[in-house]
């Protein structure tokens, strides 16, 4: 099953490019439906574009479900494991339970959440945020991708009614808990499997610099309103503010308009990702970067607009579920993560936990992300044991 997914959505620049509702991600969704069909698991697509495959108990009950899974979309140039590992492991765990003749006493659901990375519409975990009511559906409908297409239009194009997106209390009410298995995304594990204690606070901010486009050869330095200059100052300020407040800050994406070698740009839009151990570290970092951006913009006659696109406060996973998982697995390391996950969003509504599989490269959101097959097998075995315990299988 893993081998069928591997060729899908390779980024010509390396790694994977599987943006939500683009052809490669639709191919991943078709793969998901095919995996469910092979296992005779009914598939449900909710109004927000999230997918679920259900392994139902013999009495057909739909409530009290144990939900697992992750996401199939990727960042540009992403690794093979971030997201798909959790979905593939979920199907593999169901296979392992069935192979030993287990029958669940409550439903087990395999989820693939939509637009987890926010790589297309800008807000990470968009599908799970909508499901849990942590983003206003009106705002979600109006989100636009890089080509200007709205999320509403894209949903409609794929047979979903944009008027119906938003919280789904019926679906959440059918779920007792969520356990997401994920590749570990740093150098946090020196054994095959661990569990998450917490997700650090993190967010995204958009900085729009508007200057005046002009000729690179004929415009005197004194006459320029070049948005590139405050943009460059802002990138450096992100680094120094993060160092000062004990956070991390990244400018990983920028759009330069019009993008001519021999033209002073008319505008630059840049996105800041900031994360830290506590909210205050993130807030102070972003405030300092915004101040530096405004100061530099005003020094160069450039207008600047700073907007918060999303913010996720710290999430501490529910201790009782974590303790239960640690007991089932006979003890595993427990670690916080600087990466965001649907589990962090669902934690507001359900007891939620995460299992991590060791990543020997320590690299993620890049092609070098890796997991050894033996560690993947250990992850599947751990998820199998956890599902057996939680679903009474
Ligand atoms: C998503 O993976 C994130 O941590 O930004
Ligand atoms: Mn990711
Ligand atoms: Mn992920
Ligand atoms: Mn993530």
What's the confidence (pLDDT) of residue 122?
96
User: Please, what's the b/e burial string for 7-23 (b: 16 or more CB within 10 A of its CB; e: otherwise)?
Assistant: ebbebeeebbbbbbbbe
Q: Which of 279, 312, 345 is the last residue of a domain?
A: 312
Do residue 87 and residue 136 come from a single domain? yes
Q: Taking ligand 3, which is a single-atom ion, which protein residues have CB atoms under 5 Å away? A: 82-83
Positions in the chain short of pLDDT 70: none
Which residue's CA is the closest to the ligand 1 atom numbered 3?
340
DSSP secondary structure string for all residues of 72-122: ----TTB-SSTTHHHHHHHHHHHHHHHHTT---SS-EEEEEETTSS-TTTS
**342 alpha carbon to ligand 4 midpoint, in Å?**
7
What's the confidence (pLDDT) of residue 393?
85
Using the atom order of ligand 1, give the atom closest to the CA of residue 125: 1
The rounded distance, in Å, linking the Cα atoms of 219 and 102 is 75
- CATH classification at residue 300: 3.30.70.360
> Is the minimum distance from the CB of 237 to ligand 1 under 6 angstroms?
no
The rounded distance, in Å, linking the Cα atoms of 362 and 368 is 9
Do residue 299 and residue 352 come from a single domain? no
Q: What residue numbers bound the domain in which 192 lies?
A: 2-199+314-391
**212 alpha carbon to ligand 1 midpoint, in Å?**
34
Do residue 280 and residue 322 come from a single domain? no
At 31, phi and psi to the nearest 5? -60, -45
**117 alpha carbon to ligand 1 midpoint, in Å?**
6
Do residue 34 and residue 147 come from a single domain? yes
- CATH classification at residue 98: 3.40.630.10
Q: Which ligand is nearest to the CA of 81?
A: 3
Do residue 84 and residue 190 come from a single domain? yes
**339 alpha carbon to ligand 2 midpoint, in Å?**
7
Which residue's CA is the closest to the ligand 1 atom numbered 1?
340
Give the pLDDT confidence of 144-169 residue by residue, as tens digits. 999 999 999 999 999 999 999 999 99
Closest CA to 66 of 84, 82, 54: 54
> Is the minimum distance from the CB of 274 to ligand 1 under 6 angstroms?
no
Do residue 152 and residue 291 come from a single domain? no
**190 alpha carbon to ligand 1 midpoint, in Å?**
22
Dihedral, 142, 144, 148, 154 alpha carbons, nearest 10: -80
Do residue 91 and residue 168 come from a single domain? yes
* Residue 51 token pair: 């997918």
Do residue 266 and residue 165 come from a single domain? no
Using the atom order of ligand 1, give the atom closest to the CA of residue 339: 4
Using the atom order of ligand 1, give the atom closest to the CA of residue 273: 5
**226 alpha carbon to ligand 4 midpoint, in Å?**
35
Do residue 243 and residue 374 come from a single domain? no
Q: 366: which DSSP letter?
A: S
Give the pLDDT confidence of 51-83 residue by residue, as tens digits. 999 999 999 999 999 999 999 999 999 999 999
Do residue 150 and residue 6 come from a single domain? yes
> Is the minimum distance from the CB of 340 to ligand 1 under 6 angstroms?
yes
Residues that constitute the known binding site = 71, 82, 117, 182, 204, 262, 275, 365
The rounded distance, in Å, linking the Cα atoms of 232 and 228 is 6
Report the domain count for the chain.
2
What is the end-to-end Cα distance of the chain in Å, rounded? 23
Residues that constitute the known binding site for allantoate = 204, 262, 275
**119 alpha carbon to ligand 1 midpoint, in Å?**
10
Which residue's CA is the closest to the ligand 1 atom numbered 5?
340
> Is the minimum distance from the CB of 117 to ligand 1 under 6 angstroms?
yes
Q: Which ligand is nearest to the CA of 253?
A: 1
Do residue 323 and residue 387 come from a single domain? yes
Q: Which of 296, 312, 328 is the last residue of a domain?
A: 312
Do residue 293 and residue 213 come from a single domain? yes
The separation between CA 90 and the C-alpha centre of its own chain, rounded to angstroms, equals: 18
The pairing of beta strand 43-45 with beta strand 51-55 = antiparallel
Q: Which of 293, 312, 331 is the last residue of a domain?
A: 312
What's the confidence (pLDDT) of residue 208?
98
Q: What is the pTM of this model?
A: 0.96
Question: Cβ distance 21 to 121 under 8 Å?
Answer: no
């Amino acid at each position: 099953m893993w081998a069928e997914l591997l060729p899908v959505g390779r980024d010509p620049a390396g790694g994977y490019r599987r943006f939500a509702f683009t052809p490669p991600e639709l191919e991943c969704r078709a793969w998901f439906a095919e995996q469910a069909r092979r296992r005779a698991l009914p598939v449900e697509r909710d109004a927000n574009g999230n997918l679920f495959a259900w392994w139902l108990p013999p009495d057909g009950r739909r409530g009290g479900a144990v939900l697992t899974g992750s996401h199939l979309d990727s960042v540009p140039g992403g690794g093979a494991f971030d997201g798909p590992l959790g979905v593939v492991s979920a199907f593999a765990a169901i296979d392992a339970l069935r192979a030993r003749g287990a029958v669940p006493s409550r439903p087990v659901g395999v989820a693939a959440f939509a637009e987890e990375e926010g790589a297309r519409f800008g807000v990470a975990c968009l599908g799970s945020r909508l499901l849990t009511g942590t983003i206003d559906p009106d705002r979600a409908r109006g989100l636009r991708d890089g080509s200007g297409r709205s999320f509403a239009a894209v949903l409609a194009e794929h047979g979903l009614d944009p008027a119906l997106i938003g919280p789904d209390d019926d679906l959440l009410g059918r779920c007792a808990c969520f356990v997401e298995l994920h590749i570990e995304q740093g150098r946090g594990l020196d054994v095959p499997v661990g569990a998450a204690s917490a997700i650090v606070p993190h967010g995204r901010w958009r900085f729009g610099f508007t200057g005046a486009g002009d000729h690179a050869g004929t415009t005197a330095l004194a006459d320029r309103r070049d948005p590139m200059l405050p943009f460059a100052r802002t990138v450096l300020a992100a680094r120094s503010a993060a160092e000062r407040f004990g956070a991390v800050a990244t400018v990983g994406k920028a759009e330069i308009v019009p993008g001519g070698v021999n033209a002073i740009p008319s505008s630059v839009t840049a996105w800041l990702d900031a994360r830290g151990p506590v909210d205050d570290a993130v807030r102070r970092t972003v405030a300092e970067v915004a101040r530096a951006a405004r100061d530099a913009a005003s020094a160069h006659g450039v207008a600047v607009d700073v907007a918060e696109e999303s913010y996720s406060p710290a999430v501490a996973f529910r201790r009782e579920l974590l303790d239960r998982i640690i007991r089932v697995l006979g003890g595993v390391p427990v670690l916080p993560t600087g990466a965001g996950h649907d589990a962090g969003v669902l934690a507001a509504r359900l007891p939620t936990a995460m299992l991590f599989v060791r990543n020997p490269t320590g690299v993620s959101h890049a092609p070098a992300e890796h997991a050894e097959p033996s560690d993947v097998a250990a992850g599947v075995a751990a998820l199998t044991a956890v599902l057996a315990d939680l679903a009474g299988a």
